[in-house]
Structure 1
Amino acid sequence: MRQPDIEIYVKEDFLDELTSWLEQQIGPLQLGEWKGNTRRGTLQAAPPIPLMLVRRAAGRWASIWFDSDATPWATDLECARAVAAGIQREVRCSVGGWEEEQGEADADRWMKVTVEGEEEFIWAQKP
């Protein structure tokens, strides 16, 4: 089932690699200036895909949020697999579509995706 948006996490050190890969795979990426830890932009695809980068979203991990259901990927996990293979780095994503109404029980369940494979883990965020 296609998710309404896609969110993945990569280490901040690899944001430039990720944005270069996105441009090669999808099309030109127009990014605005950093405003604090946030940078918004648009992938020039058909239709355009708005995205947002957030540094230090989870420790040294940056959030990449594609605010569209028209991405090349149907799910966070599909995106994480493609990016991990494309930039040869670990990518993290939620286990599945989680919404706040579902409660906190599954909120810390995540997937680590690398070229070597995938593994579910608990990503307990410290306040």
Structure 2
Amino acid sequence: MRQPDIEIYLKDADHQAIAQWLGEALGPCSTWQQKGQTYKCQAGDIPVTWLPKAVGKWHSLLLESANTPWPDDLACAQAAYAALGVEVRCAPGSWEESESDEQADRWMRISDDGVEEITWRTG
């Protein structure tokens, strides 16, 4: 099932490199608009939110649409890693409020080591 939106976390990437990658994958990116710590743009017809250092050194990228080329966070994370060459993390599937903390700490890590499930305590 396609996720309603995509959220991944990237290490050591900046929003300009992200905009270039998204421009190639989704369509031209509008100029980033900064609101506080958050940056927003449109990539093609998809609203994009970039939050630097959302979790420690990790930056959050949120694609607010189900109409992306990727069916889920993991597929997007793998594409981001291939394009940008930085470690990427994402949830293993759609996350729900009702999940236990233990489930919420399960993450997928995409790096030079490949794809692996890790425990990442973000809270």
Q: TM-score, normalised by structure 2?
A: 0.90
CA shift, 1:14, in A, is 3.6
Superposed CA RMSD: 1.5
Equivalence for 1:122: 119
Q: Is the 8 A contact 1:108 1:123 kept in 2?
A: yes
Q: Output the CA distance in 2 between the equivalents of 1:13 and 1:72.
A: 21
Is residue 97 of structure 2 the alignment partner of residue 100 of structure 1? yes
Report if aligned partners of 1:31, 1:39 keep a CA contact under 8 Å in 2.
Answer: no
Q: Which segment drifts farther, 82-91 or 112-121? A: 112-121
Gaps of 5+ in 1: none
Partner of 1:62: 59
Given that 1:37 and 1:56 are in contact with CA atoms closer than 8 Å, whether structure 2 keeps it comes out as no
Q: Would you say how many aligned residue pairs link Structure 1 and Structure 2?
A: 123
Maintained 8 Å contact 1:89/1:114:
yes
1:113 corresponding residue in structure 2: 110
Partner of 2:11: 11
Which amino acid in the other structure matches residue 21 of structure 2?
W
Q: Which residue of 2 aligns with 1:20?
A: 20
Corresponding residue of 1:90: 87
Output the TM-score relative to the length of structure 1: 0.88
Identity level (%) = 41
1:25-44 to 2 correspondences below 5 Å? 25-44=25-44
SS in 1 for 2:67: coil
CA contact (8 A) 2:9 2:59 kept: yes
